[in-house]
């Protein structure tokens, strides 16, 4: 019992020491360290997958969605696959401009775009992507999302996706969110929310049937 108590105090001491060291680091380094467990993406074999899922999107893509589209486009150029894009809060009159950006800026052929017109959350995105993919006989997916968003997407894919899937790693030269000071200032809040949402999804992992 004494040994166990000593071990507990020792472990707590190490945790406190780590937290103190962490809190003494510059904020930018804290952010980089905090992001690490959330990045679960890896390299994608050139011949893998018949559909690319881009969580987020919308007619006016922000920095986060732009970097996801950059990644999706790079993989699409290697092997053409269907690409599921969520319109988000896209109004009908905005779709023309959205289509133009997808086909010219991100070089995705119009016939390969599958529109998800219903999703407003990441979970909706994944669940609706599964339904749409089945309609197009797509089974294996590549998910293209921002580094901080990869863990939660992976959990949701395990929960709702029937086929095989891989989360694509985001190369540094494709990151867009780093370019906005507004985002950098909010990074701590963003990461905290992602951890909480990921924990929530793990806790209720078996609560929703496919």
In a domain, 160, yes or no: yes
- Please report whether residue 31 resides in a domain: no
Question: 25 lies in a domain?
Answer: no
* pLDDT in single tens digits along all 210 residues of the chain: 444 455 555 555 655 666 566 677 776 776 677 777 889 999 999 999 999 999 986 666 777 888 999 999 999 999 999 999 987 666 666 777 788 888 999 999 999 999 888 888 899 999 999 999 999 999 999 999 999 899 999 999 999 999 999 999 999 899 887 766 545 566 667 788 888 888 888 877 766 554
What's the structural domain count of the chain?
1
pTM, entire model:
0.81
Contacts (Cβ under 8 Å, ≥6 apart) of 199:
none
**Does residue 149 fall inside a structural domain?**
yes
Output the domain CATH number for residue 118: 3.40.50.620
Residue 1 lies in a domain: no
Q: Compute the distance between CA of residue 106 and CA of residue 188 in angstroms, rounded to an integer.
A: 30
Residue 96, in any domain of the structure: yes
Residue 138 counted as domain residue? yes
Q: Which domain holds residue 150?
A: 42-203
Helix (H) or strand (E) holding 116: strand 113-116
The tens digit of pLDDT for each residue in 111-165 reads 999 988 888 889 999 999 999 999 999 999 999 999 989 999 999 999 999 999 9
CA distances from 178 to 16, 23, 33, 184 (A): 30, 22, 15, 7
37 HSE (CA, 13 A, CB side): 8
């Amino acid at each position: 019992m004494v040994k166990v108590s000593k071990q507990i105090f020792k472990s707590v001491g190490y945790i406190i020491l780590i937290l103190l060291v962490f809190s003494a680091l510059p904020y930018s380094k804290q952010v980089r360290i905090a992001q690490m467990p959330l990045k679960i993406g890896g390299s994608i074999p050139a011949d893998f997958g018949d559909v690319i899922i881009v969580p987020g999107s919308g007619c006016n893509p922000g920095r986060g969605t732009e970097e996801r589209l950059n990644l999706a486009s790079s993989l699409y150029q290697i092997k053409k696959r269907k690409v599921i894009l969520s319109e988000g809060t896209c109004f009908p009159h905005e779709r023309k401009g959205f289509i133009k950006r997808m086909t010219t800026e991100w070089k995705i052929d119009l016939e390969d775009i599958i529109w998800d017109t219903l999703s407003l959350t990441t979970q909706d995105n994944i669940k609706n992507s599964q339904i749409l993919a089945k309609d197009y006989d797509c089974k294996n997916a590549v998910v293209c999302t921002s580094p901080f968003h990869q863990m939660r997407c992976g959990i949701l894919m395990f929960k709702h996706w029937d086929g095989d899937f891989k989360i694509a790693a985001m190369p540094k030269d494709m990151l867009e969110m780093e370019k906005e000071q507004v985002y950098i200032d909010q990074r701590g809040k963003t990461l905290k929310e992602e951890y909480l949402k990921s924990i929530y999804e793990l806790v209720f992992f078996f609560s929703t049937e496919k």
